[in-house]
C-alpha cells in the first residue's frame, strides 16, 4: 500500500529538473514515515568513542562515522521517532536511504531515496522493505539470510543496505533510545 | 585541547624549576619527576587522541568520497535531489577464477587453468548516463599459438529516463536465465558454471543492440530489446563445438557481427515476495543473413527459459529450464551429410539446485550444495532422407556435489565432484578459487 505513494511522488520527481534515480527527498521520506508529525527538527548526532565501540559491538560492523544525520519527528512536544539518513555503496553505486525509528529504537520504516545501479531496484519493493519493521539491534533479524530475505540478482545491494540499517539500528539503540 | 595542556605543563615545568631552587633539592627533584611523569602521560594521551582522530577522519573521507554530499535535511524543497549532483566518477572492478579439473578415470587429463581474468570499468557521465565495460582474458595467454582469448565482454551506455525506465545501447548481456547476468564466480555454486547455462544458454551471452527496461510497483522487472543474433553460416559440422554448445559455436559477440537479420528479446522477472524470484525470457531471430548461396537463410533461432530461485533463511534453492530451437535446417543439413555434427533442430536442459549456509565462523561462510542437471545439445534433428541422418543424442545427466567457502564478501574457494550418467569418462573432481570486487 505504502508503495502507491511512491508513484505520484516518483512522477513528480521525474517531472522536476530530472534526477533520474531519485525517488524521494528527505522531506518526502520523513512525511511518509511520520504522517502524523506536526514538526520535524534536525538533531544531528555525534557519537563518542565509547558509543562508537558499543555500536560496533551491537551491529558487528565498523561504526563507520562519528556524525549521523538525524531528524526528530514530533507531534506537538511528543516525540514520535527519528529518521536517520545514510548512504551505502550497492555494487558500484551509491544508495541513499532513510531509516525511520521509533523512540524505543525499533525500526519503523525504510525508504530508498536514490538508487542508481542497473540491477537490484527491487530493494524499493514494499514487501522487501517491510521485513525490517519492528526489529531492533537488540531483537536481531537484521541480517540478509537471517531475518531479511536476499534479493536474487541484487545480493550486494541488499546485503549492503541491510548492513547499513543494522548499523543505524545500533546507533539508535546506543544514542537515541528513550 | 591536549596541546594546550602540554604547553601549560611545559611552561609550568620550566617556570617551576627556578622557583623550586629555593626549596630543598629532594623536593625539587620530586616535583620535576612528578611533572615529567605528568608530561609523559599527556604525551601518551595526545598520541592516542591524534590516532583516533586520524582514524575517524579517514573513515569520514572514505565515506565523503563515496557520498558526494550530505542530503539536505528538513529544509529541502520538494524538487531538490537528496544527493547533490556528484562529479563524474569512474569505478574499476575485477573478477577472476582459477580452476583445477581432475577427471577421476583419466588423471592424465588433469588441468589447471586461469579460466578468466576480467577488468570492469564503469564511468558515470552524469546522474542519468553511464558507461559500463568489461574486458576479459581467458586461459591466461593470448597469442596466435596459444589457446587464450581476449575479449570485450560488455561495452554499453545506459541512460535512465525516470520512473525506473532505462535503456542500454551497445554490447550488453542478454537477460536470460540466472547465471548470464550474474556470472561472477562469487555468485554461483560449483567450480564450473552449470551445463544448462553454458551448453544450452551460451553464457556469457552478449549481443550488440538497444534495450529498454523498467519495473513495476508489484515487483515485476521487464526487459526488451533489438540486437544482433547468431550466424548459422559459422556452423562447423566437422568439428565438435556445435555438439558442446550449439549456440556457443555460432555466437558473434560483437565481432564484425553479421546484422542483416536482427533478433529480439524479452524477459520478465517477478520478485514480489522477499527471497523469491520467478522469471522467464525469450530470444528469437533469423540466423542466415541472406548470405549468397547459403541454404538456411530462413533458419530462425529461438531460445526460451523459465527460472526460479528461492532463498528462505539459510537455504538457496533454484531451478531452471531452457530450450533452444533452430528452424528450417533441412536443406543445410542435407549439404552436411557425412559430417558428425549437423545442425540440431532442438536442444534443451534443466537443473535444480539446493545450497545450505551451514557454517559461519568469523568471515568464513561454508555452503555445501547439490545440483542435478539434465541437458541435451542435440535433442532432435530436422528430417533428412532415410539413412543419411545422425541419431539424436541421449540426455546427459550430471550430479554435482560440493561446497563453496566464502572468505568475506569477495573471495570464494570451491570444491566439488561431478558424476556423469552417459559419458562416465567425464566424471571429475574440481577445485577453484574465485574473487570479485
CATH number for the domain spanning B116: value is 2.40.160.10
Interface touch B82/A25, C-beta < 8 Å: yes
- The verdict on a CB contact (< 8 Å) between B181 and A146 is no
Asked, for residue B80, whether it belongs to a domain, the answer is no
B240 contacts chain A (CB < 8 A): no
What's the pLDDT at B51? 59
With 0.95 as the threshold, say if the pTM is over it: no
Touching A: B residues 391-430, CB under 8 Å: 409
Domain membership of residue B72 (yes or no) is no
Res B273 pLDDT > 50: yes
Report CB contact under 8 Å: A113, B187.
Answer: no
A39 interfacial to chain B (CB closer than 8 Å): no
Beta bridge partners of A99: A84, A110
Number of structural domains chain A divides into: 1
- Which of chain A's residues have a Cβ under 8 Å away from the Cβ of B71? 25-26, 69, 85, 96, 113
pLDDT at residue A74 greater than cutoff 70: yes
- CB pairs < 8 Å spanning A and B: 164
Mean pLDDT along residues B16-22:
42
Are B17 and B115 members of one domain?
no
- Whether residue B204 is preceded by a cis peptide bond, meaning omega within 30 degrees of 0, is yes
Same domain, B229 and B276: yes
> Which residues on A lie below 8 Å from B275 (Cβ)?
149-151
Q: Which residues of B touch A53 (CB under 8 A)?
A: none
Domain count, chain B: 2
The one-character DSSP state at B391 is P
Dihedral sign computed on CA atoms, order A101, A104, A105, A107 = negative
Yes or no: say if B66 and B398 are a contact pair by the CB < 8 Å rule: no
Query: Is the same domain home to B17 and B128?
Result: no
Mean per-residue pLDDT, B260-265:
98
Whole-angstrom Cα distance, residue B317 to residue B356?
A: 9
The residue range of the domain holding A139 is: 2-176
Q: DSSP 3-state assignment of B127?
A: coil
B161-202: per-residue pLDDT in tens? Answer: 877 799 999 999 999 999 999 999 999 999 999 999 999 999
Owning domain of residue B197: 89-436
Q: Is A152 on the interface with B (CB under 8 A)?
A: yes
Query: Is residue B258 pLDDT above 90, yes or no?
Result: yes
Same domain, B32 and B119: no
B313 in a structural domain: yes
Q: Are residue B113 and residue B160 in the same domain, yes or no?
A: yes
Domain contains B78:
no
Residue-level pLDDT at A13: 38
Question: Is the pLDDT confidence value at A3 over 60?
Answer: no
* Interface predicted TM-score of the whole assembly (ipTM), two decimals: 0.77
pLDDT in tens, A106-148: 999 999 999 888 778 888 899 999 999 999 999 999 999 899 9
Cβ partners under 8 Å of residue B164, min gap 6 = A10, A121, B214, B215
Contacts of A21 in chain B (CB under 8 A): 127-128, 160
> Would the pLDDT of B337 be above 50?
yes
Residue B79 in contact with partner chain A when CB distance is under 8 A:
yes
Query: Nearest residue on chain A to B124, judged by CA atoms?
Result: A93
pLDDT confidence of B205, banded at 50, 70, 90? very high
Q: Average pLDDT for residues B99-119, to the nearest whole number?
A: 97
Which residues have CB under 8 Å from B274's CB, separation 6+? A125, A127, A128, A131, A148, A149, A151
B277 and B137 both lie in a single domain? yes
B45 pLDDT above the threshold of 90: no
Amino acid at each position: 500500500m505504502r508503495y502507491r505513494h511512491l508513484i505520484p511522488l516518483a512522477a513528480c520527481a521525474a517531472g522536476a529538473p530530472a534526477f533520474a534515480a531519485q525517488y524521494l527527498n528527505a522531506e518526502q521520506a520523513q512525511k511518509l514515515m511520520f504522517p502524523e508529525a506536526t514538526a520535524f527538527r534536525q538533531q544531528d548526532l555525534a557519537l563518542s568513542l565509547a558509543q562508537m565501540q558499543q555500536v560496533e559491538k551491537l551491529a558487528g560492523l565498523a561504526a563507520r562515522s562519528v556524525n549521523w544525520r538525524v531528524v526528530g519527528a514530533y507531534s506537538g512536544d511528543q516525540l514520535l521517532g527519528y529518521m536517520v539518513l545514510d548512504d551505502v555503496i550497492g555494487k558500484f553505486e551509491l544508495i541513499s536511504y532513510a531509516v525511520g525509528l521509533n523512540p524505543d529504537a525499533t525500526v519503523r520504516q525504510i525508504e530508498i531515496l536514490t538508487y542508481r545501479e542497473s540491477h537490484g531496484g527491487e530493494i524499493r519493493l514494499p514487501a522487501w522493505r517491510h521485513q525490517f519493521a519492528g526489529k531492533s539491534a537488540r531483537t536481531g533479524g537484521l541480517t540478509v539470510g537471517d531475518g531479511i530475505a536476499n534479493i536474487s540478482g541484487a545480493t550486494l545491494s541488499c546485503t549492503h543496505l541491510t548492513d547499513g540499517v543494522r548499523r543505524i539500528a545500533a546507533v539508535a539503540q546506543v544514542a537515541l533510545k528513550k | 585541547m591536549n596541546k594546550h595542556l602540554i604547553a601549560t605543563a611545559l611552561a609550568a615545568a620550566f617556570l617551576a624549576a627556578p622557583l623550586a631552587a629555593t626549596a630543598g633539592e629532594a623536593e625539587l627533584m620530586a616535583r620535576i619527576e612528578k611533572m615529567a611523569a605528568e608530561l609523559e602521560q599527556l604525551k601518551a594521551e595526545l598520541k592516542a587522541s591524534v590516532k583516533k582522530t586520524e582514524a575517524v577522519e579517514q573513515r569520514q573521507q572514505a565515506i565523503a568520497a563515496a557520498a558526494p554530499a550530505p542530503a539536505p535535511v528538513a529544509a529541502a524543497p520538494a524538487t531538490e535531489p537528496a544527493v547533490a549532483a556528484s562529479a563524474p566518477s569512474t569505478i574499476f572492478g575485477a573478477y577472476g577464477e582459477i580452476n583445477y579439473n581432475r577427471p577421476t578415470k583419466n588423471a592424465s587429463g588433469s588441468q589447471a587453468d586461469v579460466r578468466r581474468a576480467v577488468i570492469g570499468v564503469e564511468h558515470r557521465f552524469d546522474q542519468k548516463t553511464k558507461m559500463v565495460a568489461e574486458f576479459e582474458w581467458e586461459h591466461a595467454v593470448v597469442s596466435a599459438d596459444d589457446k587464450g582469448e581476449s575479449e570485450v565482454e560488455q561495452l554499453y551506455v545506459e541512460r535512465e529516463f525516470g520512473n525506473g525506465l532505462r535503456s542500454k545501447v551497445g554490447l550488453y548481456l542478454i537477460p536470460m536465465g540466472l547465471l548470464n547476468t550474474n556470472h561472477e564466480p562469487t555468485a554461483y555454486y560449483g567450480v564450473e558454471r552449470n551445463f544448462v547455462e553454458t551448453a544450452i544458454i551460451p553464457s556469457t551471452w552478449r549481443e550488440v543492440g538497444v534495450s529498454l527496461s523498467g519495473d513495476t510497483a508489484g515487483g515485476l522487472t521487464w526487459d526488451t530489446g533489438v540486437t544482433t543474433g547468431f550466424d548459422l553460416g559459422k556452423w562447423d559440422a566437422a568439428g565438435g563445438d556445435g555438439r558442446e554448445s550449439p549456440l556457443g559455436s555460432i555466437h558473434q559477440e560483437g565481432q564484425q557481427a553479421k546484422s542483416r537479420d536482427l533478433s529480439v528479446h524479452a524477459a520478465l522477472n517477478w520478485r514480489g515476495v522477499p527471497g523469491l524470484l520467478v522469471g522467464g525470457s525469450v530470444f528469437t531471430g533469423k540466423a542466415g543473413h541472406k548470405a549468397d548461396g547459403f541454404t538456411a537463410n530462413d533458419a530462425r533461432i529461438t531460445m526460451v527459459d523459465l527460472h526460479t530461485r528461492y532463498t528462505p533463511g539459510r537455504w538457496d534453492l533454484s531451478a531452471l529450464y531452457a530450450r533452444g530451437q533452430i528452424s528450417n535446417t533441412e536443406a543445410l543439413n542435407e549439404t552436411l551429410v557425412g559430417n558428425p555434427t549437423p545442425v540440431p533442430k532442438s536442444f534443451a536442459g534443466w537443473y535444480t539446485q539446493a545450497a545450505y549456509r551451514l557454517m559461519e565462523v568469523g568471515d568464513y561462510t561454508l555452503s555445501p550444495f547439490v545440483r542435478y542437471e539434465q541437458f541435451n545439445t542435440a535433442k532432435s534433428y530436422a528430417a533428412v532422407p532415410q539413412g543419411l541422418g545422425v541419431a539424436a543424442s541421449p540426455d546427459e545427466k550430471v550430479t554435482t556435489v560440493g561446497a563453496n567457502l566464502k572468505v568475506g564478501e569477495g573471495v570464494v574457494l570451491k570444491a566439488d565432484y561431478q558424476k556423469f550418467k552417459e559419458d562416465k569418462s567425464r566424471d571429475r573432481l574440481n577445485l577453484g578459487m574465485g574473487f570479485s570486487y
